[in-house]
């Protein structure tokens, strides 16, 4: 059970009325798509700003330390961005990997979380996949994605969207600039 708490012409946000975490919410496009890479036009242009505003509304309303963002694909027939308010000692699991988590400090001071159940993959394998991902943009103009090459127009586009929470709506101008990279 969910209740709609906000919408604009492209997005809607609902909040769960049943669950372990008060304020657990869902941001979804009004147009039927299954995956983030299928966003286009105004959905793609406004996604970041709308997501940030929705996260702020959830954080403020729940007095959460932070709001986790989850996107799961494959098991649902419509894209849902899960906005999960986190409180110390709360019901949410803050681990991205299965199994017992082991933290290791690198020489740089960075902390790496690994799983005892799933060993680290060889660096050569990780680099190969990173190179394949990098290569997916080699033939695309900067600012475009492999799925939407037409988005790299080099133009500046301005859209307005009503963004707000809990009945408080304000108009925010969202400017997106696509620039050519090196």
Domain 2-94+136-177: CATH architecture, name and number where available: 2-Layer Sandwich (3.30)
Query: Using one digit for the tens of pLDDT, what is the confidence trace for 101-159?
Result: 888 888 888 888 888 888 878 888 888 888 887 888 665 555 555 454 444 333 333 33
CB 163 within 8 A of CB 170: yes
Domain borders along the chain are 2-94+136-177, 95-135
pLDDT of 96 above 80: no
Query: What pLDDT shows up at residue 151?
Result: 42
CA 144: distance to chain centroid?
18
Query: What pLDDT shows up at residue 180?
Result: 33
Give dist(CA 142, CA 113) in Å, integer.
32
Query: What pLDDT shows up at residue 16?
Result: 95
Q: Nearest CA to 27 among 6, 17, 13? A: 13
Q: Nearest CA to 21 among 53, 51, 65, 54? A: 65
Query: What pLDDT shows up at residue 157?
Result: 35
Q: In degrees rounded to 5, what are phi and psi of residue 133? A: -65, -45
């Amino acid at each position: 059970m969910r209740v709609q708490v906000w919408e604009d012409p492209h997005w809607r946000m609902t909040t769960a009325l049943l669950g372990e975490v008060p304020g657990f919410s869902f941001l979804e496009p009004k147009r039927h798509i299954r995956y983030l890479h299928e966003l286009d036009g105004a959905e793609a242009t406004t996604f970041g700003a709308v997501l940030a505003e929705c996260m702020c509304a959830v954080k403020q309303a729940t007095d959460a330390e932070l709001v986790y963002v989850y996107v799961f694909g494959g098991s649902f027939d419509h894209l849902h961005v899960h906005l999960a308010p986190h409180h110390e000692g709360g019901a949410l699991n803050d681990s991205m990997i299965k199994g017992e988590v082991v933290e290791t400090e690198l020489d740089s001071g960075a902390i790496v979380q690994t799983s005892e159940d799933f060993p680290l993959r060889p660096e050569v394998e990780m680099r190969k996949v990173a190179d394949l991902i990098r290569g997916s943009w080699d033939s695309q103009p900067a600012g475009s994605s492999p799925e939407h090459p037409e988005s790299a127009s080099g133009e500046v586009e301005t859209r307005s969207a009503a963004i707000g929470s809990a009945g408080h709506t304000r108009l925010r101008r969202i400017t997106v600039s696509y620039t050519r990279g090196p």
